[in-house]
């Protein structure tokens, strides 16, 4: 009843941590793994256990968010991290993230794959990159993503990812905007998914939603639902 290192892929995990510690970006690590034909997590699940499905299982290329999650995880140090999320259906409480200080961490629960020094070096680089991009904040405080889960790529069907960007115009004034893109764009490079601005999507979607609401016989019941 313990986790054990996969001897075939443990060296690849160490390479990922080492590359990150050397300053390589998450996207560059993904490209290197793809070029050397290392299967991404979803591919490995399909190859070994024939698991197929929508969303996550459609990926055939490595994604930066997978690298980010690996680098931050203490499971590779031999520690278990539990209680990261909480959901109470009987209370109609949706799935929510739990602050890290409230996680249940069991140290030295299994054999580690990377050393403490390598893990800390990789996470130091990640922290420095976040500080450089976000300034003094660990993460920017962003508004709720009201379109989350509703938008999909017209080419591969993957759910679109919201991205946040900041720009400075010629007069020196800063502005920010949100846009949506396909997380698996590298999987179908010949079919370029355009960058879709949040305002553009709302301009198209909200009039249709308004029309549907006008046709609804029981608007109060719909709103309550």
Render pLDDT for 167-191 as a digit per residue (tens, 0 to 9).
Answer: 888 888 888 889 998 888 887 878 8
Q: What is the pTM of this model?
A: 0.69
Q: Answer with the residue of higher pLDDT: 96 or 6.
A: 6
CA-CA distance, 6 to 44, in Å (whole number)?
A: 12
Q: Which of 54-58, 148-152, 200-204 shows the lowest mean pLDDT across its residues? A: 54-58
pLDDT tens digits, residue range 75-92? 999 999 888 888 877 777
Write the CB contacts of 162 (distance below 8 Å, at least 6 apart in sequence). Answer: 145, 147, 148, 178, 179, 180, 198
Work out the mean pLDDT of the chain and round it to a whole number. 85
Write the CB contacts of 121 (distance below 8 Å, at least 6 apart in sequence). Answer: 17, 21
Residue 56 has a pLDDT of: 45
What is the mean predicted confidence (pLDDT) over 136-163?
A: 79
**60, 167, 76, 148: which is closest to 119 by C-alpha?**
76
What is the mean predicted confidence (pLDDT) over 182-209?
A: 86
Confidence of residue 155 (pLDDT cuts 50, 70, 90): confident
**Is the confidence at residue 52, as pLDDT, over 70?**
no
What is the mean predicted confidence (pLDDT) over 8-31?
A: 95
Residue 43 has a pLDDT of: 85
Residues 195 and 181: beta-carbon distance below 8 Å: yes
Q: Which of 95-104, 133-142, 180-189 shows the lowest mean pLDDT across its residues? A: 133-142
Confidence of residue 69 (pLDDT cuts 50, 70, 90): very high
What is the mean predicted confidence (pLDDT) over 192-221?
A: 85
């Amino acid at each position: 009843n313990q986790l054990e290192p996969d001897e075939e892929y443990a060296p690849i995990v160490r390479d990922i941590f080492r590359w990150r510690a050397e300053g390589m970006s998450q996207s560059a690590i993904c490209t290197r793994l793809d070029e050397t034909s290392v299967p991404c997590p979803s591919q490995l699940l399909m190859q070994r256990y024939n698991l197929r499905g929508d969303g996550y299982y459609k990926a055939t290329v490595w994604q930066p968010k997978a690298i980010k999650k690996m680098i931050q995880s203490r499971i590779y140090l031999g520690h278990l991290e539990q209680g990261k999320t909480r959901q109470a259906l009987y209370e109609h409480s949706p799935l929510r993230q739990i602050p890290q200080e409230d996680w249940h961490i069991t140290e030295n629960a299994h054999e580690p794959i990377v050393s403490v020094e390598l893990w800390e070096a990789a996470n130091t680089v990640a922290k420095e990159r976040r500080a450089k991009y976000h300034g003094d904040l660990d993460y920017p405080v962003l508004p709720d993503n009201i379109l989350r889960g509703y938008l999909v790529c017209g080419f591969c069907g993957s759910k679109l990812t919201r991205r946040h960007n900041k720009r400075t115009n010629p007069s020196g004034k800063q502005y920010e905007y949100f846009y949506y893109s396909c997380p698996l764009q590298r999987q179908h490079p010949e079919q370029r998914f355009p960058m879709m601005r949040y305002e553009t999507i709302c301009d198209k979607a909200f009039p249709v939603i308004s029309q549907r609401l006008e046709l609804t016989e029981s608007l109060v019941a719909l709103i309550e639902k």
